[in-house]
Amino acid sequence: MPQNLYLDECVSPLLKDRLRVHDPHALHFPYIEHASLNARGHADPQQLKYAVKSKAVFVTHNIKDFLWLHRWWKTLHAWDLLPDPHSGILAAPPSLPIDLLGAEIFKFLTQHPTPLLENNMYVYRQKQNQWVREHF
């Protein structure tokens, strides 16, 4: 299933190029936008809100803050205080090389069956070499 991606400011804009190596015809990722294009300097909640409006999976290195924000978003959505779930959050440590990050995102989002992304957050665990769904 094709997924739009929204890259946080802390993620290198070069990630878009690395993803296009795996998806040159934009079949899997029709639209990839970097936060510096329209939302430079916005707070984390506004970044996630923008991704939700864009129906895009949010990609970040800011694991700690987005884990907290993800939990709040799910809680507020469960209480009907937010109308829309988020489209998914992928968080990877900044130490992960960009080529590997691009390959791992492509592999994860194109696997069958497709992982459940809506209102879920996955963190890349380098020791396990895999994306792990965060539960709370």
pLDDT confidence band for 1 (50 / 70 / 90): confident
- Please answer whether residues 96 and 45 qualify as being in contact, where contact means their C-beta atoms are separated by less than 8 angstroms: no
State how far the Cα of 70 lies from the Cα of 65, in Å rounded to an integer.
9
State how far the Cα of 39 lies from the Cα of 35, in Å rounded to an integer.
5
pLDDT at 51 over 90: yes
State the DSSP H helix or E strand holding residue 53, giving kind and residue range, or none if neither: helix 44-53
Percent of the chain with pLDDT strictly greater than 90: 84
- Total number of domains constituting the chain: 1
State how far the Cα of 46 lies from the Cα of 30, in Å rounded to an integer.
23
User: What's the pLDDT score for residue 39?
Assistant: 66
SS (H, E, C) 61-127: CCHHHHHHHHHHHHHHHHCCCCCCCCCCEEECCCCCCHHHHHHHHHHHHCCCCCCCCCCCEEEEECC
* Tens digit of each residue's pLDDT (9 = 90 or more) over 74-120: 999 999 998 899 999 999 999 999 999 999 999 999 999 989 999 99
Among 70, 68, 3, which Cα is nearest to 31's?
3
State how far the Cα of 101 lies from the Cα of 119, in Å rounded to an integer.
21
Characterise 20 by phi-psi region: left (phi > 0), alpha (psi -120 to 50), beta (else): alpha
Range of the domain at 26: 4-133
pLDDT confidence band for 38 (50 / 70 / 90): confident
Q: Which residue type is seen at 13?
A: P
pLDDT confidence band for 6 (50 / 70 / 90): very high
